[in-house]
Amino acid sequence: MASPSPSRSRKAQIDRTATALFRARGFAATSMRELATELGLEAGSLYSHIKSKEEILHRVCFGLAEAFFAGFSAATADTGAPVAAQLRQAIEAHVRVLTQDSAASAVFLHEWRHLSEPARTEFLALRDRYEGAFRALIERGLTTGELHAPDAAFAALTLLASLNWLPSWYRPVGKLTPDEIAHRLAEQLLGGLLQK
């Protein structure tokens, strides 16, 4: 397998460093000069690799959105499986995306507001579509009697809000692996939805 080109590795390094700064300081408070200093580059040479810090924010936000959709699609691919099993897998897939890179996840969840148009509107449409997919899955479970909730939209938002708190407390060096966290969260969150 060919190793990545030097320019691709440099871009990945820039993305990782910028993402860590965006998480620690916020997108607006992070300057290109600060990013260049952190990378050991002159500010001018940073522009030979990227056009702007928003380019990095765009990659983080839309890259994670793509990963969330891929995880949800894989979790719900077996349409003959019980809805509760699909929902469990969707929850676990969501947790795996969040824990793969907690800095990128935190930036995705909190810094998207700094995207300029039309990217901001496109991002919000993707977020709505993803929430809608969870809502539709829960509605299916209510229809089949597998799940119980007074309101599918409220249940979906509560579930996602609970999951999206994860980057604020998850630490890769913690006692639980991402898979163990995914399993425990799925158990806990499904407990309130499963039909007794």
Coil, helix or strand for 155? helix
pLDDT of 77-103, one tens digit each? Answer: 998 999 999 999 999 999 999 999 999
| pTM assigned to the model | 0.88
Q: Report the alpha-carbon distance of residue 189 to residue 147 in Å, rounded.
A: 12
Is 119 inside any structural domain? yes
Side-chain half-sphere CA neighbours of 157 within 13 A: 5
Is 141 inside any structural domain? yes
Q: Report the alpha-carbon distance of residue 111 to residue 54 in Å, rounded.
A: 10
Is 87 inside any structural domain? yes
List the domain range (segments joined by +) for residue 71: 54-191
Is 46 inside any structural domain? no
For residue 149, give both structure tokens: 């909730």
Q: Report the alpha-carbon distance of residue 23 to residue 25 in Å, rounded.
A: 6
First to last CA, the chain: 52
Query: Tokens 């397998």 sit at which residue?
Result: 1
Which pLDDT value is given to residue 49? 84
How far does CA 131 lie from the centroid of its chain?
12
Which pLDDT value is given to residue 96? 95
How many domains, in total, are found in the chain? 1
Mean pLDDT of the 25-42 span: 91
- CATH number of the domain within which 93 lies: 1.10.357.10
More confident site: 73 or 41: 73
Which pLDDT value is given to residue 82? 94
Is 81 inside any structural domain? yes
The partner residues of 194 in beta bridges, in order of sequence, read: 147
Task: Using the predicted structure, report yes or no on whether residue 39 has a pLDDT greater than 60.
Answer: yes
Helix (H) / strand (E) containing 149: none
Q: Are 92 and 177 in contact (CB under 8 A)?
A: no
Is 33 inside any structural domain? no
Which pLDDT value is given to residue 196? 53
Q: Are 154 and 162 in contact (CB under 8 A)?
A: no
Which pLDDT value is given to residue 195? 57
Is 146 inside any structural domain? yes
More confident site: 56 or 41: 56
Is 152 inside any structural domain? yes
The percent of residues above 70 in pLDDT, for the chain, comes to 94
For residue 189, give both structure tokens: 């969150």
